């Protein structure tokens, strides 16, 4: 996506700025890329090398064991499938509902906007807690259904706020006024002016909502029971065994000799699994980002509308 | 939309009121004839009971309804088990509370390790869990016999009002778990330096100095780490092993029992100070690595499994497989040998002792109809019959296929089980130690009963250093048990309701529950690393004073009252 | 005269009210749009609020919410009177403020630099790379932190000692803890934080930049006079919202990094609540709920205060 270069030349200071820009971004890049390389390398390395802490930058004795262990687990595909469904359906519902309330809230002539804004913001700070929420979900008959994953967090107040802020800042009142002069109804304004101009913010909240769905773990834990409905994060957690001391005590006490043998076999794998699991779990989310990126181009929307 | 809201509100109010009074159920719908205890099937017409249970994903995939054993058991008893929910043990705590709070209780729970004595008692008092004394005495001949055999189990199972409220799970044959604060020393270095296992704290120190200076790994560099721990690992804090040479130490509460009935706090005594001075000395001399207080399990393991030359001389751990990969890697797992507790300057010598505790495995709720209670009881009694039934329910391990009875010759040869007690059975060669999960049985859902003896450890295991059960059994029996005493705090003590909150607060501040750091840990780390000067009287007094202000006297008091009330 | 004025006032009020109702009627579509979301929030967020009373009761799961005994402010007093209340509050607030002061501006600055990067390929790569660490689980991140900052084997300390200085015990020092915690957090999350600012920056009208350039303004002037005011509402709103989360700092990450040597500065409200839950042999829902309610009230006061200041100083406010 080429940035429309203005015909006016940059000053000398501008050029210096760009050099500093490159250097700074380069440093940030190097600083941040290290953990990523480390994780990828570890996930492909030999288990023993990982245990011995020998992996620093490049994989040592590359193997696919870490990934094999993950994908041998049949439920991983089920988990993927469920998560994709929850993410797509959930995000769609999220965006629709968010726009439905953020647009009116962004209109200065919308009487009651402050009251509604307060209504929403209050819930960010106060909530009833786990038990009443669980009881509500249960009473609505949503326990152990697919709908609950879509409905329980259908609106993220944070995202409503940033959408409203964006709309307020980017859509000038003159646009609304001239539309009204042209006799357009509020709905028509929504579809022909607001939405086209909201490219960047819709991209952002899509990303935020989608990521939230993708990483969702705790709600699935408490609201779902059937194995077929489990999302990816829950399935992945079953593969990775926590080595917490309490687990050790419990397992030492209850497992028999051969079970303990098996457990130590898995010890090898655990070292790799934490890394390969991250890759498996987050690669799809990383892949969404380029699609979102193209909306962060300066002024691409406003220009189009004005013309 | 408003109507929906009203409807929901109404629903909620109703739901709210519904559990306000506490459910009353027990409609004793008769018509179900229960056969005499000990005979099967339990009932003549097929009935269903609702169960919520758990599984551990290391052992089992959680598909209990499809397990072979389920079909077998249902046929045997003629009772169908409806698995309302099968929860993974990690999520059990949260889910259990939600289930209890929602009021949608099953007939019974089979959730070992997740209902503490305190919780069981609390729910018993509020009527959620029903008393089981009658059914245990009248309908469960096996369990009754077992309880008569073992007083300590009977005691722990009896609640303050004299009733039973749970069916027990006792897996007391993790014998090495009872003295799990072990200390492992690298034998090849001892051999290279011509040293024996240290028996006193002085000899221990000399050993560490030899490790540091004698270049036992032979590479010409002084890169040896004589002693290192990882406070985050399973019993990876050297504190317990070393301090026991000065005064009885248990990080769980820092208390000891004098003459069976008096509770004393240990972490502010002169003996404790002496121990800290000793450990500070080790630290200052470079014998105790500073990573001990900071590193996590992965880092520790990397040190122990150092590629090329070994660099770790000794470390504390529950077993050598925590930091050294068992059966693999560098092979060092075979060379770390346990040593017995050291004798301190005042003659103290003991291991931290964790007595066997009963787990409150199965509870029946007030949602179950009256007639179901003896049915469930008689079903469950089958598990307490003996080793054979236990193995069958574990993973359909059948006698003659998975194990066999012990022969008189083997008996005479003194073959023991993993707890060091004479065995009754032996494994068969058809046993394959594979990595599949035990999906054929009820691993955790069954009330485990393994108190003494059981399956013998094959003598050939003595030669295989990766057979940890053998090594640990030997280690515990031979070098730790001789020094065990009665200073430990008994398990499953029930704290009176009025003290619960206070006790929790004190525990959080002073002791640091779970594996977390409390005041004692904080000061200990500072004194040992020299951040505070242990030899400075003013610093020590300040420490003792802070403990006092934090409420250490009250900590002792509450625990004393609890102990006394339990009959000690 | 008086009655005439009164009559005028009444007429004025009447007119204003009529205008008000007209405005509402004209915008009826907006109200219709907002209806569904408002309904959702009432059902899913407001109805369960009756549960907040758990904080005032001694909750026993078997008895349900309504059946549990009422204890008034006892749970709150238990928290305020607890031995390390002061220490916990201080740690939480200071760590949070540190994180806010250091961590809030950085994504903004980074976003500006990314936005102005002339090379598109490089720009997109940097965005992608900085966005990724946010997704790494806290366990793995702490593992990496431990590995890098360890004494003796950690590369940071190896570099330090090679330069001739003494090794720093980053992980075992209560003085170092806040710095390690905050800066590793920035390291991990700054990329993800730029996203909203990048979106806001792309909403700035490029014609403003063109005319500024024509007037001879250099880039820094343009950033200062056009971009910053352009994204100011976003920045301010996010800042206001952030103050509402001050007490929520850390839990898993802090818990994993705690040890005997740094617990002095490493005990925050959330880890405290967790430990009480571990220690208490019956789950203290009420106590946790009370602390949660306390956090909420403080956060609410903070947000309202900051919002009011913001409304006066700038024109931006939440409501």
- Going by C-alpha positions, the residue among C156, C162, C166, C152 that lies closest to residue C187 is C156
Higher per-residue confidence, B456 vs B276? B276
Of B198, B220, B218, the closest CA to residue B209 belongs to: B198
Contact flag A2-C125 (C-beta cutoff 8 Å): no
A27 has a pLDDT exceeding 90: yes
Using the predicted structure, report yes or no on whether residue B17 has a pLDDT greater than 50: no
Using DSSP's 3-state secondary structure scheme, residue B456 falls into: strand
pLDDT value at residue A123: 93
Contact call for B98 and A221, based on CB within 8 A: no
**What is the CATH classification number for the domain harbouring C247?**
1.10.3720.10
Interior/surface letters B365-380, b for 16+ CB within 10 angstroms, e for the rest: bbbbbebbbbbbbbbb
φ, ψ of residue B184 to 5 degrees: the values are: -115, 135
Average pLDDT, chain B: 86
Looking at the complex, does the CB of residue C263 fall below 8 Å from at least one CB of chain B? yes
Contacts of C126 (CB under 8 A, 6+ apart): A25, A28, A29, C114, C117
Asked whether residue C124 is assigned to any structural domain, the reply reads: yes
Residues C42 and C81 in one domain: no
SS3 label, residue B55:
strand
H helix or E strand, kind and range, residue B391: helix B387-395
Cβ pair C278:B295 closer than 8 A: no
Contacts of C269 in chain B (CB under 8 A): none
**Residue-wise DSSP of B346-388:** TS-----------EEEEEEBTTS-TTHHHHHHHHHHGGGG-HH
Q: How far apart are CA B321 and CA B327, in angstroms?
A: 9
Q: Is residue C64 part of a domain?
A: no
Q: Do residues B501 and B369 lie in contact, with contact meaning Cβ atoms separated by under 8 Å?
A: no
Q: DSSP assignment, residue B263?
A: E
- Cα–Cα–Cα angle for A261, A265, A266, nearest 5°? 120
* Span B112-128, pLDDT tens digits: 878 888 888 888 888 89
Which of A111, A123, A132 is opposite residue C24, by nearest beta carbon?
A111
- pLDDT tens digit string along B76-115? 999 999 998 888 887 787 788 888 888 889 999 998 878 8
Give me C60's structure tokens: 């026993």
Q: Are residues C127 and C25 in the same domain?
A: no
Say whether pLDDT at B469 is over 70. yes
- pLDDT grade for A149, boundaries at 50, 70 and 90: very high
Task: Give this complex's ipTM.
Answer: 0.86
Higher-pLDDT residue of A250 and B459 is: B459
Calpha distance A156→A208 (Å, rounded):
9
Q: Say yes or no: C85 and C44 in one domain.
A: no
Residue C23: per-residue pLDDT = 77
Question: B407: how many CB neighbours lie within 10 A of its CB?
Answer: 11
By CA distance, what is C47's nearest residue in B?
A: B9
Query: What is the pLDDT confidence band of residue A254, given thresholds at 50, 70 and 90?
Result: low
Which residue ranges make up each domain of chain A? 64-306
Q: C178, C102 in Cβ contact below 8 A? A: no
State whether C80 and C209 are in the same domain.
Answer: yes
- Verify whether the Cβ–Cβ distance C133 to A297 is below 8 Å: no
Residue of A nearest to B304 (CA): A52
Contact A36, A245 (CB under 8 A): no
Residue of B500, B509, B511 with shortest CB distance to C84: B509
For residues B11 and B241, the model is more confident at: B241
**Cα–Cα distance between A121 and B538 in angstroms, integer?**
53
Give yes or no for a contact between B157 and B189, defined as CB atoms under 8 angstroms apart. no
Mean pLDDT of B375-388: 92
pLDDT in tens, C91-136: 999 999 999 999 999 999 999 999 999 888 999 899 999 999 998 8
| Interatomic CA distance for residues B455 and B427, integer angstroms | 7
Instruction: Identify which of C200, B395, B2, B387 has the alpha carbon closest to the alpha carbon of residue A167.
Output: C200
pLDDT for the residue numbered B276: 96
Structural domain contains residue C143: yes
Total domain count, chain C = 2
Asked whether residue C23 falls in the same domain as residue C84, the answer is no
B516 interfacial to chain C (CB closer than 8 Å): yes
- Residue C45 C-alpha, separation from nearest chain A C-alpha, in angstroms: 6
B512-540 mean pLDDT: 91
Residue C17: inside a domain: yes
Domain that holds residue C7: 2-52
What is the count of residue pairs from A and C with beta carbons less than 8 Å apart?
281
Rounded CA gap, A174 and A169, in Å? 13
Percent of chain A with pLDDT over 70: 83
Range with top average pLDDT, A232-241, B1-10, C113-122: C113-122
Angle in degrees, 0-180, between the axes of helices C138-149 and C177-202, rounded to the nearest 10: 130
DSSP notation for B298-310? HHHHHHHT-SSS-
Q: Using pLDDT thresholds of 50, 70 and 90, give the confidence band for residue B255.
A: very high
- Report chain A's mean pLDDT, rounded to a whole number: 83
pLDDT of residue A8: 54
Is residue C62 included in any domain, yes or no?
A: no
| Per-residue tens of pLDDT for chain C, all 319 residues | 678 888 888 888 888 888 878 877 878 888 999 999 999 999 999 999 998 898 999 887 777 788 888 999 999 999 999 998 999 999 999 999 999 999 999 999 999 999 999 888 999 899 999 999 998 888 889 989 998 998 888 889 999 999 988 888 999 999 999 999 999 999 999 999 999 999 888 888 888 888 888 888 888 888 898 899 889 989 999 999 998 888 988 788 998 899 889 999 999 999 998 888 776 666 678 888 899 999 999 999 999 999 999 989 887 888 8
Domains of chain B, CATH where assigned: 30-169+360-386 (3.40.190.10), 182-352+489-565 (3.40.190.10), 394-483 (no CATH)
| Distance (Å, whole) CA B417 – CA B454 | 6
CA dist., res. B256 & res. B487, Å (int)? 5
Within this chain, do residues C170 and C299 fall inside the same structural domain, yes or no?
yes
Whether B14 has a pLDDT exceeding 50, the answer reads no
Band of residue A2 on the pLDDT scale cut at 50, 70, 90: very low
What phi and psi, each to the nearest 5 degrees, are found at residue B206? -65, -40
Considering the domain architecture, whether residues C31 and C84 belong to the same structural domain is answered as no
C34 and C93 within one domain: no
What φ, ψ does residue A67 adopt, rounded to 5°? -80, -35
Q: Hey, what are A58's tokens? A: 């490049």
Task: For residue C65, give both structure tokens.
Answer: 């919410």
The CATH architecture annotation of domain A64-306 reads Orthogonal Bundle (1.10)
Judge whether residue B278 has pLDDT over 80. Answer: yes
Q: Judge whether residue A266 has pLDDT over 80.
A: no
Task: Find chain B residues with C-beta within 8 A of C62's C-beta.
Answer: 22, 100, 122-123, 126-128
Local structure of B200: helix, strand or coil: strand
B489: exposed, middle or buried (Cβ count in 10 Å: 0-12, 13-18, 19+): buried
Structural domain contains residue C164 = yes
Distance CA B419, CA B176 (A): 7
Please check the confidence at residue A120 and state whether its pLDDT lies above 70. yes
Task: Name the 3-class secondary structure at A105.
Answer: helix
Q: Do C114 and C42 sit in the same domain of this protein?
A: no
**pLDDT at residue B1 in the model:** 47
pLDDT of res. B476: 86
pLDDT band at B13 (very low <50, low <70, confident <90, very high): very low
Convert the pLDDT of each residue in B417-445 to its tens digit: 877 788 888 887 665 555 567 788 898 89
Phi, psi at B214, each rounded to 5° = -85, 5
Residue B348: closest CA among B289, B269, B288: B269
CA distance C303 to chain A (A): 9
Cα–Cα distance for residue pair B505/B511, rounded to 1 Å: 10
Percent of chain B with pLDDT over 70: 92
Query: Do C203 and A169 meet the contact criterion of CB atoms below 8 Å apart?
Result: yes
Q: Please tell me whether residues C141 and C17 are part of one structural domain.
A: no
Size of interface A-B (CB pairs under 8 A): 128
C-alpha–C-alpha distance, residues B157 and B166, integer Å: 7
pLDDT for residue B176: 82
Q: Domain for residue C319, yes or no?
A: no
φ/ψ of B347, rounded to 5, equals 85, 0
Contact A48 B328 (CB under 8 A): yes
Token pair recorded at residue C201: 């920056």
Is A173 exposed, middle or buried (CB count within 10 Å of its CB: 0-12, 13-18, 19+)?
Answer: exposed
| Residue A299 pLDDT greater than 60, yes or no | no
- For residue C289, being part of any structural domain is answered with yes
Q: In the complex, which subunits touch C with 3 or more CB pairs below 8 angstroms?
A: A, B
Query: In terms of domains, do C231 and C135 share one?
Result: yes
Please list the alpha-helical segments (H only) found in B103-251: 117-125, 133-139, 141-149, 151-157, 175-178, 187-193, 201-213, 238-243
Q: How far apart are CA B21 and CA B27, in angstroms?
A: 17
The CA distance from C1 to the nearest CA of chain A, in Å, is: 35
DSSP-assigned letter for residue A146: S
- How far is B273 from B281, CA to CA, in rounded Å? 12
SS3 string, chain C, reads CHHHHHHHHHHHHHHHHHHHHHHHHHCHHHHHHHHHHHHHHHHHHHHHHHHHHHHHEECCHHHHHHHCEECCCHHHHHHHHCCCHHHHHHHHHHHHHHHHHHHCHHHHHHHHHHHCCCCHHHHHHHHHHHHHHHHCCHHHHHHHHHHHHCCCCCHHHHHHHHCCCCCCCHHHCCCCHHHHHHHHHHHHHHHHHHHHHHHHHHCCCHHHHHHHHHCCCCHHHHHHHHHHHHHHHHHHHHHHHHHCCHHHCCCHHHHHHCCCCCHHHHCCHHHHHHHHHHHCCCCCHHHHHHHHHHHHHHHHHHHHHHHHHHHHHCCCCCC
- Is C47 in the same domain as C85? no
- Please state the rounded mean pLDDT for residues A218-234: 88
Using a CB–CB cutoff of 8 Å, tell me whether B319 touches chain C. no
Q: How far apart are CA A261 and CA B327, in angstroms?
A: 9
| Chain segment B471-524, per-residue pLDDT in tens | 888 888 888 989 999 999 998 888 888 888 899 899 989 998 877 889 999 999
Question: Which of A111-120, B130-139, B255-264, C61-70 shows the lowest per-residue confidence on average (mean pLDDT)?
Answer: C61-70
């Amino acid at each position: 996506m080429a940035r429309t270069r203005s015909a006016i030349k940059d000053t000398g200071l501008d050029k210096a700025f760009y050099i500093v820009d490159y250097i700074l971004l380069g440093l940030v890049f190097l600083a941040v890329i290290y953990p990523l390389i480390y994780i990828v390398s570890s996930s492909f390395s030999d288990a023993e090398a990982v245990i011995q802490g020998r992996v620093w930058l490049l994989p040592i004795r590359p193997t696919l064991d870490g990934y094999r262990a993950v994908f041998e687990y049949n439920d991983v595909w089920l988990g993927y499938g469920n998560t994709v469904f929850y993410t797509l359906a959930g995000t769609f519902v999220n965006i629709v509902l968010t726009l439905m309330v953020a647009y009116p809230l962004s209109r200065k002539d919308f009487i009651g906007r402050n009251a509604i804004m307060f209504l929403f913001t209050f819930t960010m700070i106060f909530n009833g807690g786990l038990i009443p929420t669980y009881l509500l979900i249960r009473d609505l008959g949503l326990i152990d259904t697919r709908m609950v994953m879509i409905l329980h967090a259908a609106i993220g107040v944070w995202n409503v706020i940033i959408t409203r802020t964006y709309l307020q800042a980017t859509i000038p009142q003159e646009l609304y006024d001239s539309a009204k002069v042209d006799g357009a109804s509020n709905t028509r304004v929504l579809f022909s002016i607001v939405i086209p101009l909201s490219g960047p913010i819709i991209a952002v909240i899509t990303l935020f909502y989608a990521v939230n769905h993708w990483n969702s773990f705790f709600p699935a834990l408490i609201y779902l029971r059937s194995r077929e409905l489990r999302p990816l994060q829950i399935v992945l957690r079953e593969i990775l065994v926590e080595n917490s001391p309490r687990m050790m005590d419990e397992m030492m006490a209850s497992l028999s000799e051969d079970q303990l043998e098996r457990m130590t076999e898995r010890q090898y794998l655990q070292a790799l699994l934490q890394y390969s699991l991250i890759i498996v779990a987050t690669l799809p989310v990383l892949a969404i980002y380029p699609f979102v990126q193209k909306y962060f181009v300066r002024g691409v929307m406003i220009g189009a509308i004005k013309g | 939309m408003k109507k929906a809201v009203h409807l929901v509100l109404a629903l909620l109010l109703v739901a709210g009121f519904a559990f306000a009074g506490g459910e009353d159920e027990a409609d004793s719908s008769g018509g179900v004839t229960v056969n005499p205890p000990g005979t099967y099937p339990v009932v003549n017409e097929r009935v269903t009971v609702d169960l919520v249970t758990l599984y551990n994903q290391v052992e089992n995939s959680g598909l209990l309804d499809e397990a072979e054993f389920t079909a077998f058991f249902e046929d045997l008893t003629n009772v169908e088990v409806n698995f309302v929910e099968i929860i993974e043990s990690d999520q059990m705590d949260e889910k259990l509370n939600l289930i209890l709070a929602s009021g949608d209780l099953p007939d019974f729970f089979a959730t070992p390790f997740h209902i503490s004595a305190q919780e069981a008692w609390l729910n018993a008092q509020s009527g959620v869990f029903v008393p089981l004394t009658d059914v245990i005495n009248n309908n469960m001949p096996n369990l009754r016999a077992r309880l008569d055999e073992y007083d300590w189990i009977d005691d722990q199972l009896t609640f303050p009002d004299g009733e039973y409220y749970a069916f027990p799970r006792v897996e007391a044959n993790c014998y090495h778990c009872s003295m799990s604060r072990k200390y492992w020393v690298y034998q090849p270095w001892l051999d290279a330096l011509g040293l024996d296992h240290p028996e006193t704290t002085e000899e221990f120190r000399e050993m560490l100095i030899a490790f540091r200076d004698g270049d036992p790994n032979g590479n010409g560099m002084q890169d040896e780490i004589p002693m290192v721990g990882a406070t985050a690992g399973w019993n990876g804090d050297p504190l317990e092993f070393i301090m026991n040479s000065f005064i009885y130490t248990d990080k769980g509460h820092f208390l000891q029992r004098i003459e069976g009935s008096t509770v004393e706090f240990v972490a502010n005594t002169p003996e404790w100070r002496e121990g800290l001075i000793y450990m500070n000395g080790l630290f200052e001399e470079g014998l105790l690595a500073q990573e001990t207080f900071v590193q996590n399990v992965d880092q520790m393991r990397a040190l122990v499994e150092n590629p090329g030359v070994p660099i770790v001389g000794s470390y504390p751990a529950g077993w050598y497989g925590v930091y050294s990969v068992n059966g693999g890697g560098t092979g060092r797992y075979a060379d770390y040998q346990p040593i017995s507790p050291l004798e301190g300057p005042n003659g103290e010598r003991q291991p931290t002792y964790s007595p066997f505790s009963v787990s409150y495995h199965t509870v029946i709720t007030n949602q179950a109809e009256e007639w179901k209670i003896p049915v469930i009881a008689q079903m469950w009694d089958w598990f307490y019959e003996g080793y054979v039934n236990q193995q069958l329910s574990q993973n359909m391990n059948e006698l003659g296929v998975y194990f066999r009875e012990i022969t008189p010759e083997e008996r005479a040869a003194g073959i023991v089980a993993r707890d060091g007690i004479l065995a009754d059975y032996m494994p068969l060669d058809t046993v394959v130690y594979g990595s599949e999960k035990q999906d054929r049985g009820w691993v955790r859902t069954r009330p485990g009963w393994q108190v003494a003896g059981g399956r013998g450890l094959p003598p050939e295991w003595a030669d295989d250093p990766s057979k940890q059960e053998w090594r640990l059994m030997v280690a515990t029996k031979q070098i730790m048990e001789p020094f065990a005493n009665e200073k430990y705090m008994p398990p499953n003590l029930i704290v009176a309701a009025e003290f619960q909150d206070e006790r929790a607060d004190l525990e959080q501040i002073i002791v640091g529950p779970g594996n977390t750091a409390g005041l004692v840990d904080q000061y200990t780390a500072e004194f040992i690393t020299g951040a505070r000067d242990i030899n400075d009287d003013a610093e020590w007094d300040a420490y003792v004073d802070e403990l006092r202000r934090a409420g250490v006297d009250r900590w002792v008091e509450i625990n004393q009252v609890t102990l006394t009330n339990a009959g000690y | 005269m008086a009655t005439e004025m009164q009559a005028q006032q009444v007429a004025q009020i009447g007119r204003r009210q009529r205008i008000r109702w007209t405005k509402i009627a004209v915008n009826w579509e907006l109200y219709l749009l907002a209806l569904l979301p408002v309904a959702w929030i009432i059902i899913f967020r407001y109805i369960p609020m009756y549960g907040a009373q758990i904080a005032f009761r001694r909750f026993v799961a078997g008895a349900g919410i309504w059946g549990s005994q009422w204890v008034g402010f006892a749970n709150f007093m238990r928290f305020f009177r607890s031995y390390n209340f002061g220490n916990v509050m201080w740690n939480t607030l200071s760590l949070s403020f540190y994180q806010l002061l250091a961590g809030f501006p950085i994504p903004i600055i980074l976003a500006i630099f990314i936005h102005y990067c002339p090379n598109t390929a490089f720009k997109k790569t940097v965005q992608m790379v900085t966005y990724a660490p946010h997704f790494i689980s806290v366990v793995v991140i702490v593992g990496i932190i431990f590995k890098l900052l360890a004494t003796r084997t950690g590369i940071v300390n190896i570099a330090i000692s090679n330069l001739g200085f003494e090794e720093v015990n980053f992980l075992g020092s209560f003085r170092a803890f806040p710095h390690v915690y905050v800066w590793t957090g920035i390291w991990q999350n700054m990329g993800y934080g730029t996203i909203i600012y990048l979106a806001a920056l792309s909403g700035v009208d490029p014609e403003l930049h063109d005319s500024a350039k024509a007037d001879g303004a250099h880039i820094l002037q343009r950033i200062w006079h056009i971009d910053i005011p352009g994204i100011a509402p976003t920045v301010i709103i996010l800042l206001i919202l952030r103050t509402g989360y001050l007490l929520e700092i850390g839990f898993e990450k802090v818990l994993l990094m705690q040890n005997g040597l740094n617990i002095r500065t490493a005990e925050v409200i959330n880890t405290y609540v967790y430990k009480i839950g571990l220690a208490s042999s019956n789950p203290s829902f009420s106590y946790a709920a009370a602390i949660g309610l306390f956090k909420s009230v403080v956060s609410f006061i903070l947000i309202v205060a900051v919002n009011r200041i913001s409304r006066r100083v700038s024109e931006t406010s939440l409501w």
